[in-house]
Structure 1
Amino acid sequence: MALPVNQAPELSDAAFATWQDIIEERIGLQLPEQRRSFLKTCLSIRMREVGFDDYLAYYNHICDGDTGLIEWNRLMDRLTVQETRFFRDPVAFSLVKDHLQNRLKLSSAPLSLWSVGCSSGEEAYSLGITAQELLSSTPEANATRYGVTGTDISREALSLANAGSYSPRRLESIDSSLTGRYFTQQGHKYQIVQSVKDRTCFVRLNLLQLAGSPLKNLDVIYCQNVLIYFRKWRRKDIVTELADRLAPGGLLVLGLGDMVDWSHPELTRVPGEHVLAYFKRK
């Protein structure tokens, strides 16, 4: 029996613990008590859509073979899609720009950038705009290419990223001159230009399976607003894996507060209290 509209049953302690366990086991996402209401809302909405009125019955359904796996992926889209915007952290993007500028002085090899937990694509396209702006304003680097990879666990988010169409609110942090150069208005939305879109690809990736990713030798790895949902020990494992995928001299950008008491023998922290980033020693 489906749930009545606007009515959700209470999520018992036992049911909450059961859902906490499977979500953390499968994707590493930690849902503390403070996010209980969030989980209840996501579950109840999806349960209503597929005709369940009991959290444990729905749990058994998503554990049931291929059909359950398909439903699990749809549920994860609800749990993991997050709203973001272009150039959300100006200080971090300024650091990326300076780093790429220095990198171009040393080599004309293609620039390789990775947006980890890219959500609906704003962060990845922001990296692409940063690279394209720099290359177009550096005559000696005209022949240099760049590529951006955005990864996320949510298929729904990746679909939005591939579409590259955004509401004006997502562009609030962008200078109007950049908006004019890198977006075309289509009705009430703004479409990322094809030149940036062509150099940006989006791939589904579960961070618990990071070791199997082919990405390596990155000039920039940008990972913000992702690690806060993982346990501290798992964050360290993920960041260590990311660090190993940097090219010599590469830049790793994290979110403020993502990591405490973490170090890597090949990385040096970038000075400054407004950004958490590391350079890989050459």
Structure 2
Amino acid sequence: MGMAAKSAARSGNQIPPMDDLEFARWVRLLETRTGVTVPPERKPFLVTGLRRRMRQTGHTDYNSYYEELLDGARGAVEWATLVDHLTVHETRFFRHMPSLELIRKQWLPDWLDEASDDQPVHALSVGCSTGEEAYTLAMLLDVALGEVDPSRRFGITATDVSQPALSQARAASYPLSRLEEIPAQYRVGTIEPDEDENFRIAERLRKRVGFACVNLMHASRAPLRQLDLIYCQNVLIYFARERRGELLDGLARLLRPNGLLVLGPGEVTGWTHPQLIRTGGRQVLAFLRQSKETRA
């Protein structure tokens, strides 16, 4: 037995190579159901994720596994698990400080000047993965509002397509090695010790964040209240360029006047909206909903 055959035998890999027609079929399924686009250069990523899950479920050919995913409720359960294998969960606390500084130092003070005394801040974290981004926003708003208006309430809705990732987010427990990602000024009163050398987001902040399984394609139709802040970074890159504008139009409809939409730098170019204006300078990609509607 040759080295390649021995390696295949050890790994239990009896799944044949994926040809271009099979790849195209899986790409269509993933894009139809999630909106996520897999270009040809990312074929190895798709194949690796599929094979990993197929081995776990005992499938040795793509067609039988494909048919199982279309099998009613049973297929829906398996699809939810597969999506977790095919979506990227790379994230961290305080990932893009220029965007967060825009929220704290520029947008929030202006928003407070315009808002009524009892108006809470409602925020949305899109593609929240395992929760770091949503809890970052919670820490940011908690500290910023505590300095200028401690009685002001806030709430955050955080969405993702991966149920396992959302389960981790709800647990709010992270390795101590991740603590260095959180600036010292945001650690006081926002974290607490947890077992197994982990730390946990403090309960009072966990109560401010609600997690929901929502696809960005359907976000504008989800039962979300009108929002003051939408944070959507490193999500649009997984969608076809021609679809990104449609998704952003849907998010824009969720914004209240004076609301802020924050995207990842470079995620979209050339997109405009009649009620939104670019703000924040060259380091960030953010749009402010104007306080008064404009007519074309």
Q: Is structure 2 residue 75 aligned with structure 1 residue 65?
A: no
| Unaligned residue ranges in structure 1 (runs of 5+) | none
| Partner Cα distance (2:178, 2:129) in 1 | 13
Contact 1:150 1:202 in 2 (8 A): yes
| Partner Cα distance (1:211, 1:217) in 2 | 10
Contact 1:217 1:248 in 2 (8 A): no
Contact 1:269 1:279 in 2 (8 A): yes
Q: Is structure 2 residue 186 aligned with structure 1 residue 178?
A: yes
Closer/same/farther in 2, CA of residues 101 and 169 from structure 1, 3 Å limit:
farther
Q: Is structure 2 residue 128 aligned with structure 1 residue 118?
A: yes
| Partner Cα distance (2:249, 2:33) in 1 | 20
Q: Which residue of 2 aligns with 1:265?
A: 274
Q: Deviations over 1:60-104 (max 9, x none)?
A: 111122111111111011112412111100000111112122222
Q: Is structure 2 residue 105 aligned with structure 1 residue 102?
A: no
Q: Which residue of 2 aligns with 1:128?
A: 138
In the TM superposition, what is the alpha-carbon distance from 1:11 to its structure 2 partner? 1.7
Q: Which residue of 2 aligns with 1:88?
A: 95
Question: Residue 125 of structure 2 aligns to which amino acid in structure 1?
Answer: S
Question: Residue 19 of structure 2 aligns to which amino acid in structure 1?
Answer: S
Q: Is structure 2 residue 14 aligned with structure 1 residue 5?
A: no
Contact 1:168 1:190 in 2 (8 A): yes
| Partner Cα distance (2:261, 2:18) in 1 | 39
| Partner Cα distance (1:29, 1:112) in 2 | 27
Closer/same/farther in 2, CA of residues 15 and 183 from structure 1, 3 Å limit:
same
Closer/same/farther in 2, CA of residues 6 and 87 from structure 1, 3 Å limit:
farther
Q: Deviations over 1:192-245 (max 9, x none)?
A: 001110111001101222232122421110000100010112110110111111
In the TM superposition, what is the alpha-carbon distance from 1:176 to its structure 2 partner? 2.7
In the TM superposition, what is the alpha-carbon distance from 1:163 to its structure 2 partner? 0.5
Q: Which residue of 1 aligns with 2:54?
A: 47
| Partner Cα distance (2:25, 2:177) in 1 | 37
| Unaligned residue ranges in structure 2 (runs of 5+) | 1-8, 292-296
| Partner Cα distance (1:169, 1:78) in 2 | 24
Given candidates 82, 85, 88, the residue that maps to 1:78 is: 85
- TM-score w.r.t. the length of structure 2 is 0.89
Q: Deviations over 1:24-44 (max 9, x none)?
A: 011100001121111111111
| Partner Cα distance (2:287, 2:220) in 1 | 20
Count of residue pairs the alignment pairs up: 278
Q: Computing the radius of gyration over CA atoms, which structure comes out larger, 1 or 2?
A: 2
Q: Which residue of 2 aligns with 1:15?
A: 22
Contact 1:81 1:157 in 2 (8 A): no
Q: Deviations over 1:4-36 (max 9, x none)?
A: 626353222121111001000111000011211
| Partner Cα distance (1:59, 1:277) in 2 | 40
SS at match of 1:53: coil
Question: Residue 228 of structure 1 aligns to which amino acid in structure 2?
Answer: I
Q: Which shifted more, 259-268 or 212-221?
A: 212-221
- TM-score w.r.t. the length of structure 1 is 0.94
Q: Which residue of 2 aligns with 1:275?
A: 284
SS at match of 2:90: coil
Given candidates 200, 214, 220, the residue that maps to 2:209 is: 200
SS at match of 1:25: helix
Q: Deviations over 1:112-156 (max 9, x none)?
A: 111011111111111111111012212xx2221000110111111
SS at match of 1:181: coil
Q: Is structure 2 residue 167 aligned with structure 1 residue 159?
A: yes
In the TM superposition, what is the alpha-carbon distance from 1:271 to its structure 2 partner? 4.3
| Partner Cα distance (1:86, 1:42) in 2 | 26
- Identity score, percent: 40
SS at match of 2:189: helix
Closer/same/farther in 2, CA of residues 58 and 254 from structure 1, 3 Å limit:
same
Given candidates 216, 223, 235, the residue that maps to 1:214 is: 223
SS at match of 2:187: helix
Q: Which residue of 1 aligns with 2:4?
A: none
| Partner Cα distance (1:217, 1:67) in 2 | 35
